[in-house]
Amino acid sequence: MRSITSLLILSASSNRTFKEPLINSQYSKFHSHFIHSLIWCFAGAAIYSILISFGYLFGVNFLKVIIFFVVVIEPKKMSSSKRKPSEEEECADLAMSIPGLGSQSNQPKPRVLGTSFFGYVPDAFSMKTPNLPSERSSQPSPPSVADKNKTPKNDQVNRKENDRKPEEKQETNKTVAISAPQDNQTRDDKPEDDAMAARAQSTTPVRKVPIHLQSAQNRLLIKNGKVVNADGIQDADVYVEEGVIKQVGNNLIVPGGSRVIDARGKFVIPGGIDTHTHLQLPFMGTTTADDFYTGTRAALAGGTTTIIDFVIPSKGQSLIEAYKQWRERADDKVACDYALHVAVTWWSPEVQQEMEELCRDHGINSFKMFMAYKDLWQLDDTELFEAFERCKQLGAVAQVHAENGDIIKENCKKLLAAGVTGPEGHELSRPEEVEAEAVNRACVLANQVNCPLYVVHVMSKSAGQVIAEKRREGIVVYGEPIAASLATDGRNYWHTCWRHAAAHVMGPPLRPDASTPDYLMDLLANDDLSLTGTDHCTFSTAQKEMGKGDFTKIPNGVNGVEERMSLVWEKGVVSGKMDPSRFVAVTSTNAAKIFNMYPKKGCIDVGSDADIVIWDPKLEHTISVATHHSAVDFNIFEGMTCRGGPEYVIANGRVTVDEGQVKAVQGYGSFIPTPAFAPFVYDAVAEREKVHQLIKVEREGRVIAVRNTAVAAAQPSATNGEASESSLASANGVEEAIPTADHSFVAHQHFTRPPTSSGGRNMQDTTFSLSAEYPSMADVEEEAKGKKNSIHVKNPPGGKSSGPFW
Ligand code: URP
Ligand code: ZN
Ligand code: ZN
């Protein structure tokens, strides 16, 4: 055999040597080819006869071996080793799956590109796929100016290898290899290469898959997994068709041709919902590195199938106009579903009117008010109060960025004057108490109008404590820690590498107290904090450098949309603080409930959207800028290892992460309207409403302590007012209402002794009684109907209140 090989090598090389001098003549070319072919014919014939003779000697049919080699093995090698299909083509491949054939190895294969014996024809199928608007997306909108401007020039440099088109792969063989650093210092003293910086421009998307082709791959059977919902875990199979979960259970009967995914040893969980992102946000003189495509692609890569982004109108801008801008930016780009919050950055009767319109006609049920960013977006206390009141009327959730903007402004001036210009100045200008004060103030203001409150990006222990205390008092408030505050800390601002320190700048800042992430995770596990977001708002190093000599000009924002799920699993579940059900609650279910997307989103159940993650607890992954999917050139979680991650991510029935391979499709996602009056939120508000009515203290004659306003309102018509008056008098005539400094407390407390000389509560006083002091709700209702004449309420139904009246 060795001699045959050398003969072939010799003939090939000899061919090359005599070919060069004749290269310019057609005749010589022909002559050269002719001789070349002749040599190959002779060589082939010789090899063939030798093989046949060996065959006879050893009883092997070499003819069959040769045919097998040529027809089966070689084309496979050609297609797999010479060229890997791009992300786009892989998606196209799946879209070409023929219903009924499936893709299991024991079934016939669907039509696949690039495996033809006659070689690969570039884009043979993909260019013929019509680019139809997704049936699921409501209104196809034209690309915005910003989108058009974003068409990348050096795209091929910075996209990951699998994302590239084949032509691009030939153009650049530059692989970006950055190993996980051992420590911060070594990592950041060596800024990543240009390829990383150019990543910020990476936006070339995979085209939309037409709906008729999407559906073909949408029949999925997920077998043998542990299905995790917020309320429990069950061993069950899940069957998905047309983007919806159709069956959950055992021994399911499903149509043939469904793709089967074996989830043995894995958890089957609802796709994550990231409650807080800023994609394509114009902010602090620049626009975030991630747009709605790269941001949602990153989300999917990490197991998040829905994001909620913030519409942020500029001061004086119509809220509706801003909302439409955001829809235009997002609709054709999102690779996963999305909803929107709207920020209220200024206050006027028009704004109030538009808030109503947004709730009624545009699927908005949450408004965010800034207590920071003075002179830009900040509202003062009166405006906050009115905004909360408006949210309450509309059935919306009031969200706050809670930091005292007035204090921050003054501190910044002082720090800059003192020569502190670096990123550490950012934290120094707004320490923990500046956040905690604002959280407390927001709770007080919201409670005055019984408005449900949602504190975005909880960053400090003290802010978390305030929320925990307020929740214990019965206030309807939800706290949202983010991936960054749960996994890293503010010591990074003191890092000697400016780039590293600046990359962590966000507001409110990460806290230098290194015990903060653990503490916040404890609160999250206990339901003192309710759910997780990321505040994913990325700026490249070049963008951060806008604040090189002045920390107040560093664009605020960090990454997290891709890392959140794995980090919460690692720090929450692997650490033993929470079980998989709580993990589901804080990564999807609670968000779906608060923003009224449940049970469409946030659970694995029949009828829910097929947003499903097959979570492999054994998957180990080290976070790195070199492998993340965001367009940004820095990752604040660089080098952290997470045990547990998504093996498959299914968004609306489509496998968007397949055995770890990301197959995002631009424009595949849809806008998800969020209706007002989410029952999860407003049922709690209504309960409190019942016990916090306006109470008038009657002073004529001897009086009772408390009456429910609902009763009082119903009473006059039932009793013509007179009876009502007399019914206020206590039967035994010993009870009197006694005013103190806290009117809301007076309204709901019953005292038997006068106050102390300083006006405080007499500690001899007691509300304890063995008699039945609390009327039942039935009593209250009966009185309201006029059946009962009077109710004496010492403590209102629902317990004592520290709250005011509504
Ligand atoms: O630093 C941050 N958080 N940037 C985004 C805007 C905001 O405050 O949420
Ligand atoms: Zn904020
Ligand atoms: Zn934010």
**What is the spatial distance between Cα 590 and Cα 456, in angstroms, rounded to a whole number?**
14
Q: Position of tokens 């206990």?
A: 526
What six digits make up the tokens of 351?
């704004």
The confidence score (pLDDT) of residue 694 equals: 79
Arithmetic mean of pLDDT, 774-784: 47
> Which residues make beta-bridge pairs with 238?
222, 248
Ligand 1 centre distance from Cα of residue 370 (Å) = 10
Q: Give the tens place of pLDDT for each residue, 606-640.
A: 999 999 999 999 999 999 999 999 999 999 999 99
Q: Is the CB of 538 inside a 6 Å radius of any atom of ligand 1?
A: no
The confidence score (pLDDT) of residue 719 equals: 32
For residue 82, what is the DSSP state?
A: I
Whether residue 516 has pLDDT greater than 60:
yes
The confidence score (pLDDT) of residue 363 equals: 98
Ligand 1 pocket test, pick from 556, 558, 636 with the greatest ligand atom count within 8 Å of Cβ, gives: 556
The confidence score (pLDDT) of residue 695 equals: 82
Ligand 2 centre distance from Cα of residue 556 (Å) = 9
Q: Is the CB of 426 inside a 6 Å radius of any atom of ligand 1?
A: no
The confidence score (pLDDT) of residue 700 equals: 81
Arithmetic mean of pLDDT, 135-159: 30
Q: Is the CB of 505 inside a 6 Å radius of any atom of ligand 1?
A: no
Q: Give the tens place of pLDDT for each residue, 198-244.
A: 343 344 455 555 544 444 457 999 999 999 999 999 999 999 999 99
Q: Is the CB of 506 inside a 6 Å radius of any atom of ligand 1?
A: yes
From the list 288, 304, 286, 284, the residue with the least C-alpha distance to 296 is: 304
Whether residue 172 has pLDDT greater than 80:
no
Ligand 3 centre distance from Cα of residue 341 (Å) = 11
Q: Is the CB of 533 inside a 6 Å radius of any atom of ligand 1?
A: no
CA-closest residue to ligand 1 atom 3: 507
Cβ atoms within 10 Å of 181's Cβ, excluding its own: 15
Ligand 1: atom nearest CA of 372 is: 8
From the list 540, 542, 617, 611, the residue with the least C-alpha distance to 579 is: 617
The confidence score (pLDDT) of residue 705 equals: 52
Scored b (16 or more CB within 10 A) or e, 680-712 reads bbbebbeebeebbbebebbeeeebbbbbbbebb
Whether residue 29 has pLDDT greater than 50:
no
Q: Is the CB of 199 inside a 6 Å radius of any atom of ligand 1?
A: no
Q: Mention every residue, 6+ apart, whose C-beta is less than 8 A from residue 166.
A: 83, 86, 122
Ligand 1 pocket test, pick from 460, 506, 551 with the greatest ligand atom count within 8 Å of Cβ, gives: 506
Ligand 1: atom nearest CA of 505 is: 1
Q: How confident is the model at residue 46 (pLDDT cuts 50, 70, 90)?
A: low
The confidence score (pLDDT) of residue 692 equals: 79
Q: Give the tens place of pLDDT for each residue, 300-355.
A: 999 999 999 999 999 999 999 999 999 999 999 999 999 999 999 999 999 999 99
CA-closest residue to ligand 1 atom 9: 535
Kindly identify the ligand whose nearest atom is closest to the C-alpha of 455.
Answer: 2
Q: Mention every residue, 6+ apart, whose C-beta is less than 8 A from residue 278.
A: 288, 309, 310, 312, 535, 536, 537, 557
Ligand 3 centre distance from Cα of residue 484 (Å) = 12
Percent of the chain at pLDDT above 90? Answer: 58
Whether residue 746 has pLDDT greater than 50:
no
Q: Is the CB of 503 inside a 6 Å radius of any atom of ligand 1?
A: no
Ligand 1 pocket test, pick from 535, 554, 561 with the greatest ligand atom count within 8 Å of Cβ, gives: 535
Arithmetic mean of pLDDT, 724-749: 32
Ligand 2 centre distance from Cα of residue 507 (Å) = 6
Whether residue 758 has pLDDT greater than 90:
no
Q: 24 burial class (0-12, 13-18, 19+ CB within 10 angstroms)?
A: exposed
β-strand pairing of 661-662 with 654-658: antiparallel
Ligand 3 centre distance from Cα of residue 278 (Å) = 6
Whether residue 490 has pLDDT greater than 90:
yes
Q: Is the CB of 507 inside a 6 Å radius of any atom of ligand 1?
A: yes
The confidence score (pLDDT) of residue 169 equals: 28
Q: What is the overall mean pLDDT for the chain? A: 73
The confidence score (pLDDT) of residue 38 equals: 56
Kindly identify the ligand whose nearest atom is closest to the C-alpha of 506.
Answer: 1
Instruction: Output the DSSP codes for 776-789.
Output: PHHHHHHHHTTSS-
Q: Is the CB of 403 inside a 6 Å radius of any atom of ligand 1?
A: no
Instruction: Output the DSSP codes for 234-270.
Output: EEEEEEEETTEEEEEESS----TT-EEEE-TTSEEEE
Q: How confident is the model at residue 50 (pLDDT cuts 50, 70, 90)?
A: low
Q: Position of tokens 């109060």?
A: 385
Ligand 1 centre distance from Cα of residue 403 (Å) = 11
The confidence score (pLDDT) of residue 49 equals: 56
What six digits make up the tokens of 570?
């690692």
Ligand 3 centre distance from Cα of residue 523 (Å) = 21
Ligand 3 centre distance from Cα of residue 347 (Å) = 20
Q: Is the CB of 557 inside a 6 Å radius of any atom of ligand 1?
A: yes
Q: Is the CB of 535 inside a 6 Å radius of any atom of ligand 1?
A: yes
**Between 368 and 99, residue with greater pLDDT:** 368
The confidence score (pLDDT) of residue 188 equals: 34
Ligand 2 centre distance from Cα of residue 453 (Å) = 15
Ligand 1: atom nearest CA of 276 is: 9
What six digits make up the tokens of 302?
């990490």
The confidence score (pLDDT) of residue 289 equals: 98
The confidence score (pLDDT) of residue 693 equals: 79
Percent of the chain at pLDDT above 70? Answer: 60
The answer to whether the CB of 279 falls within 8 A of the CB of 535 is no
The confidence score (pLDDT) of residue 761 equals: 41
Diameter of the chain measured on Cα atoms:
127
**Between 701 and 386, residue with greater pLDDT:** 386
Q: Kindly report the CA angle at 459 between 453 and 463, in degrees rounded to 5?
A: 55
Q: Cis omega before residue 599 (within 30°)?
A: yes
Q: Is the CB of 479 inside a 6 Å radius of any atom of ligand 1?
A: no
User: What is the sign of the dihedral through the CA atoms of 261, 262, 267 and 268?
Assistant: positive
The confidence score (pLDDT) of residue 804 equals: 64
Ligand 1 pocket test, pick from 283, 374, 537 with the greatest ligand atom count within 8 Å of Cβ, gives: 537
The confidence score (pLDDT) of residue 208 equals: 53
Ligand 2 centre distance from Cα of residue 456 (Å) = 7
The confidence score (pLDDT) of residue 776 equals: 46
The confidence score (pLDDT) of residue 691 equals: 82
Q: Give the tens place of pLDDT for each residue, 554-591.
A: 999 999 999 999 999 999 999 999 999 999 999 999 99
What six digits make up the tokens of 89?
């083509």
Ligand 3 centre distance from Cα of residue 160 (Å) = 27
**What is the spatial distance between Cα 435 and Cα 430, in angstroms, rounded to a whole number?**
7
Q: Kindly report the CA angle at 200 between 638 and 399, in degrees rounded to 5?
A: 75
Least confident piece of the model among 89-93, 243-247, 342-346, 383-387: 89-93
Q: Is the CB of 537 inside a 6 Å radius of any atom of ligand 1?
A: yes
CA-closest residue to ligand 1 atom 7: 507
What six digits make up the tokens of 731?
């039967």
Ligand 3 centre distance from Cα of residue 535 (Å) = 4
Kindly identify the ligand whose nearest atom is closest to the C-alpha of 426.
Answer: 1
Q: How many residues does the chain have?
A: 806
Q: How confident is the model at residue 157 (pLDDT cuts 50, 70, 90)?
A: very low
What six digits make up the tokens of 115?
């495996």
Scored b (16 or more CB within 10 A) or e, 612-640 reads bbbbbbebebebbbbebbbbbbbbbbbeb
